[in-house]
Amino acid sequence: MEEQVVFVCENTHILTYTIYLFTDVLFRPFVYPHPRAYILSNEEFLDAVTPIILGVNRSGKWLHEHYNPELDSKTYVLLSE
């Protein structure tokens, strides 16, 4: 998959563990070759053109304010406790 996947969650433990499972466990026996950022401290990485898996420590409200399906090709996954 040559797209960006953005996980959004308020809980950093859930966010980190989900990205770990997604990239290290579910891809076996393959290795995920692209970069991953478990928790973003700066949202400017959302504009990166490379395929990357990102974790954003924000709420669902933030996602609804920043997601525009007509302009955004990223896949957003909202995680909740």
Question: What does the pLDDT look like over 6-59, one tens digit per residue?
Answer: 899 999 999 999 999 988 888 888 888 888 888 887 777 788 788 888 898 888
What DSSP letter does each residue of the chain carry, written as one string? --S-EEEE-S-HHHHHHHHHIIIIITTTTS---S-EESS-SSGGGGG-SS--EEEE---HHHHHHH--TTT--PEEEE---
pLDDT (mean) for 71-80: 84
Per DSSP bridges, beta strands 75-78 and 36-37 are unpaired
Residue 14 pLDDT = 92
- Give the residue, 65 or 69, on which the prediction is more confident: 65
Residue 2 has pLDDT above 70, yes or no: yes
Q: Please, which residues have CB within 8 angstroms of residue 73's CB and are 6 or more apart in sequence?
A: 3, 4
Tell me what pLDDT residue 26 has.
84
pLDDT given for residue 1 in this prediction: 57
Q: State if pTM tops 0.75.
A: yes
Residue count of the chain, please give it: 81
Cα 78 to chain centroid, rounded: 9
